[in-house]
Structure 1
Amino acid sequence: MSILNDIRTAFDRRDNALNQLLLINVLVFVALILIRVVTFIAGSGDLYEDVVRIFSLPSEPDALIRRPWTVLTYAFLHQGFLHIIFNLLNLYWFGSLVREYLGDRKLVSLYILGALVGAIFFLLSYNLIPVFRMGPPAEVLGASGAVTAIIVGAATLLPDYTFNLFLFGPVRIKYIAAVVVLISLAGIDGGNAGGEIAHIGGAILGFVFIKQLQRGTDLGRPVQAVGDFMGSVFSGRPRLRVTHRGRTEEPAAARRSTVVKPEQDEIDLILDKISRSGYESLSKDEKQKLFRASQK
C-alpha cells in the first residue's frame, strides 16, 4: 500500500526528525483507536484500558518499578482528538523553529529530555508533596511535557520571533511561551494536576537546555549517543573511527558539528538587516550565524 510506503520512507530519511515525531504520535493514536473499537465490539472494553495503563506513567513507585518504560512511552500517548491536535500543532510550529536553527538531533533531544524531566517532576510531586500524596494514585499521558519543552526552548532561542495568531495578529513567541507556562501553573489545583506539573518540568528543561547550549554544553549528548547506538544496532553498520599515525580522526559528521563562530563584521551586517527589514527577512544561514554568535 502507498500509505505504508510513505511511512517507511518517512522513517528511512535521516533528516526528518520532526515528521517522524509527529508520525509516531499519530500512529500510536490510530493504534489506540483501533484497539478501542475492536475491544468494544468484542465486549471486552477493559482490555483497552489495560493497554493504555501499560504505557501511561503511574505515580506509585511500585507500579513504576513494574513498568519503567512508562517514563518515556507516556509522552507518545493521547486520548481524544483535541488532545493530540493541540499537541501536534504546537510540536509542528515550534519544532520547525528548533529544527531549522539547531538541527534534527537537538530537536529529538529536547523532546526526549522534556518528557523525562516532566516525568521526574510528576513523580517527585506525587510522592513528596503532601497535598498530592494524600490524594488517590494518578497516571499521566500525553506529549504536552515534551512539547512544552520545545515551546519554551524555541522562545528562549528566538524570543522575538513572531507568529501571526488568529484574532491577535503578530505575537512574539516569548509571550506565547509565558502564557503556556502560566496556564500550566494555574491548572495545578485542577483536575489535571499531574499533567500540568509535567508541563512545568518540560518548560524548565527547555529553558535550561537552550541556555546551556548557548554556553557550549549540549545536554542532549546522552540522548544522541543512545540514538546512535540503537541506529547502529538496527542498521547493522558499526560506527567507524579512523586512526592514522597515532592520531584519532573523528567521523565527518562529528567534524561538521564543530561550531565555527562568525566574525563581528558579519554579525553587524545581520543586525543592520534586522533593523531595516525585520528578523524574518534573514536567510537560514544568517539566522544560524546569529545563533552561533550568541554562544560566545
Structure 2
Amino acid sequence: MGNGGLRYQYSRLNIAEKLIVITVSVFIVNGLLPFLFRWDPIVIEQWFRLPSNLGDFLGKPWSLVTYAFFHGGFGHIFWNMLILYFFARIFFNLFDSKRFINVYFLGIIAGGLLFMAGYNVFPAFFKQNAVLIGASAGVRAIMIFICAYLPNQEVRLIFFNVKLWYIGVFVIVMDLIQMPIGNAGGQLAHLGGALLGYVYARQLVQGNDIGSGFSKFLDSMAGLFQKKEKKAPMKTVYRKENTKAAQPDYGKEANQRKIDAILDKISKSGYESLSKAEKDFLFKAGKED
C-alpha cells in the first residue's frame, strides 16, 4: 500500500483511532531510534515528559500535554490504548469528535497538574524529583466520563453484565489503594483525569459544557495555521441566475432535534431507557459526524 493509500486509510479513522495511531508511532520511534544509533534511551523522551519540579516545567511548558504520547513499556501502552478504544466506541455513540478532544486533553492537563501539585504540596513527595509519561490521565477522563454520564448502562465483562458506575468506582478505589505502594505520581495523574471526567459529565447532564472555552481556544489556534485563501482576480462572467431560493435542510434540522431529544432522555432516565430504534439512531448519527 502506497503513501496515498495510508493517508486515505488514516483519514477514515475517528479521532480516537488517530490518537492511538500517533501514540503507537511515537512509542515505536522513541524505542527504535535510540537503539539503532546507540543513543541514551531517554534522549527523545526527556524533551516531552512532564517534570514534577516547577522550575524544570517552566522550561518546557508543552510537556503538560506531550507527556501523554510517551509510554514506559509495551504493557503500559497496550492497556491504555485498548481501554481508550473500547470507551471511545461508547463515547461516539453519544457525542462528536470535538467533545472527545475536550474530555481527553483536559483530562491529560488535569492529571498533569495534580501530579505536579502532589509533588509540591504533600510532604510524602518532598525531596523527590519525578517525571510523568503515559496517556492514562486522558484515558481515565474518557472512561470516568462515560461511567458518570451513563452510570446505569450495563456492559458485558466476559461472563456477566456490570453497570458502568461499578467499573468507575472500582478503578478509582484501585488507584487510591495503589498510591502508597506503587507508582504514586502516576496514580495522582489517574485521579486528576478521573476527576475531570466525572465533573465534565455531571455538568453536561445539567446542561453546562465546561469544555466549550477549551474548544474555542483550539479552534482559534487552528485558525492561525490555516492558509488564507487567495482571492481570484476579478473578471466578468455571465451565468444564468438561479431563480429558486436555497431551501433550508429540514432533514438535518429534524435529525438534530431528534438527537437532542434522545440525549435529554438519557440525562433524565439513563441510556438503558432508550428503545432499540433510538440506540440505533444514535449509533448511526455518531458514525456520520
In structure 1, what is the equivalent of residue 174 of structure 2? 183
Cα distance, 1:80–1:286 mapped onto 2, change above 3 Å: closer
In structure 1, what is the equivalent of residue 28 of structure 2? 30
Cα distance, 1:146–1:58 mapped onto 2, change above 3 Å: same
1:111 paired residue among 104, 113, 116:
104
Cα distance, 1:29–1:257 mapped onto 2, change above 3 Å: farther
CA-to-aligned-CA distance 1:160-181 (integer Å, 9 cap, x gap): 2222223x42222211111111
CA-to-aligned-CA distance 1:219-243 (integer Å, 9 cap, x gap): 22233223323433444258xxxxx
Cα distance, 1:258–1:146 mapped onto 2, change above 3 Å: farther
- In the TM superposition, what is the alpha-carbon distance from 1:81 to its structure 2 partner? 1.2
In structure 2, what is the equivalent of residue 161 of structure 1? 153
Report which structure shows greater RCO (CA 8 Å, sep ≥6).
Answer: 2
Q: Which runs of 5+ in 1 are unaligned?
A: 239-254, 290-296
In the alignment, structure 1 residue 152 sits paired with structure 2 residue 136: no
In the alignment, structure 1 residue 262 sits paired with structure 2 residue 261: yes
Contact 1:10 1:19 survives alignment (8 Å): no
Contact 2:87 2:143 survives alignment (8 Å): yes
In the alignment, structure 1 residue 8 sits paired with structure 2 residue 7: yes
CA-to-aligned-CA distance 1:60-103 (integer Å, 9 cap, x gap): 01110111111000111112111111001110111121122011
- In the TM superposition, what is the alpha-carbon distance from 1:120 to its structure 2 partner? 0.8
In the alignment, structure 1 residue 236 sits paired with structure 2 residue 224: no
Cα distance, 1:73–1:5 mapped onto 2, change above 3 Å: same
- In the TM superposition, what is the alpha-carbon distance from 1:198 to its structure 2 partner? 0.3
Identity of aligned residues (%): 30
**TM-score scaled by structure 1?**
0.77
Cα distance, 1:52–1:259 mapped onto 2, change above 3 Å: farther
CA-to-aligned-CA distance 1:102-129 (integer Å, 9 cap, x gap): 1111111100000000011001110011
How many Å separate the matches in 2 of 1:132 and 1:35? 33
In structure 1, what is the equivalent of residue 113 of structure 2? 120
- In the TM superposition, what is the alpha-carbon distance from 1:11 to its structure 2 partner? 5.4
Q: Over aligned residue pairs, what C-alpha RMSD do you find?
A: 3.2
In structure 1, what is the equivalent of residue 15 of structure 2? 17
In structure 1, what is the equivalent of residue 62 of structure 2? 69
How many Å separate the matches in 1 of 2:155 and 2:149? 15
Q: Which runs of 5+ in 2 are unaligned?
A: 230-252
How many Å separate the matches in 2 of 1:208 and 1:53? 32
In structure 2, what is the equivalent of residue 55 of structure 1? 48
How many Å separate the matches in 2 of 1:183 and 1:6? 43
In the alignment, structure 1 residue 283 sits paired with structure 2 residue 279: yes
Greater shift, 216-225 or 140-149, is seen at: 216-225
In structure 1, what is the equivalent of residue 245 of structure 2? none
Bigger-Rg structure (1/2):
2
In structure 2, what is the equivalent of residue 141 of structure 1? 133
2:189 paired residue among 190, 198, 206:
198
Contact 2:93 2:283 survives alignment (8 Å): no
- In the TM superposition, what is the alpha-carbon distance from 1:199 to its structure 2 partner? 0.3
How many Å separate the matches in 2 of 1:31 and 1:124? 31
2:163 paired residue among 155, 172, 177:
172
Amino acid at match of 1:225: K
Contact 1:126 1:132 survives alignment (8 Å): yes
